[in-house]
Structure 1
Amino acid sequence: MQGRNMTRWRDPKTDPRQEKKSNVITPQGHAKMKALADHLRRVRRPELSRKTGEAAAMGDRSENADYTYNKKALNQTIAKIAYLEKRLDELTIVDRLPADLERVYFAAFVTLEDEQGEEMEIRIVGPDETDNARRWISVDAPLARALLGKGLDDDVSVAAPGGETTYIITAIRYQSPEA
Structure 2
Amino acid sequence: MSARQGPPITPAGMAALKARYDQLLGKERPEIVEIVSWAAGNGDRSENGDYLYGRKRMREIDRELGYLARRMKALRIVDPANQPDKDRVFFGASVELADEDDNRKTVTLVGDDEQDAGQGRVGWSSPIAKALKGATIGDVRTVRLPGGVKEWEVMAISYE
TM score, norm. by length of structure 2? 0.91
Give the aligned partner of residue 32 of structure 2: 48
Distance in 2 of aligned mates of 1:126 and 1:48? 31
Query: In structure 2, what is the equivalent of residue 33 of structure 1?
Result: 17
For the aligned residue pairs, the C-alpha RMSD in angstroms reads 1.2
- Counterpart of 2:101? 116
- The corresponding residue for 1:81 is 65
The residue number in structure 2 matching 1:10 is none
Q: Distance in 2 between matches of 1:133 and 1:65?
A: 37
Instruction: State the distance in 2 between where 1:32 and 1:163 align.
Output: 34
C-alpha displacement of 1:32? 1.2
**Shift in Å at residue 137 of structure 1?**
0.8
Q: CA deviation at 1:62?
A: 1.4
- For residues 154 and 21 of structure 2, the distance between their equivalents in structure 1, rounded to whole angstroms, comes to 37
Partner-residue secondary structure (3-state), 1:70: helix
Higher helix share: 2
Task: Give the counterpart of 1:163 among 143, 148, 152.
Answer: 148
Find the counterpart in structure 2 of residue 153 from structure 1: 138
Q: Deviations over 1:87-109 (max 9, x none)?
A: 11111111252211010000000
The ranges of structure 1 where at least 4 consecutive aligned residues each deviate by more than 6 angstroms after the TM superposition are none
Distance 1:104 1:82 in 2: 34
Distance 2:48 2:117 in 1: 39
* Percent identity between the two aligned chains: 38
Once residues 85 and 161 of structure 1 are traced to their aligned partners in structure 2, the CA distance between those partners, rounded to angstroms, is 33
Q: Secondary structure at the match of 1:71?
A: helix
Q: Which runs of 5+ in 2 are unaligned?
A: 1-5
Gaps in structure 1 of 5+ consecutive residues:
1-21
1:23 & 1:163 partners in 2: Cα distance? 27
Aligned length: 154
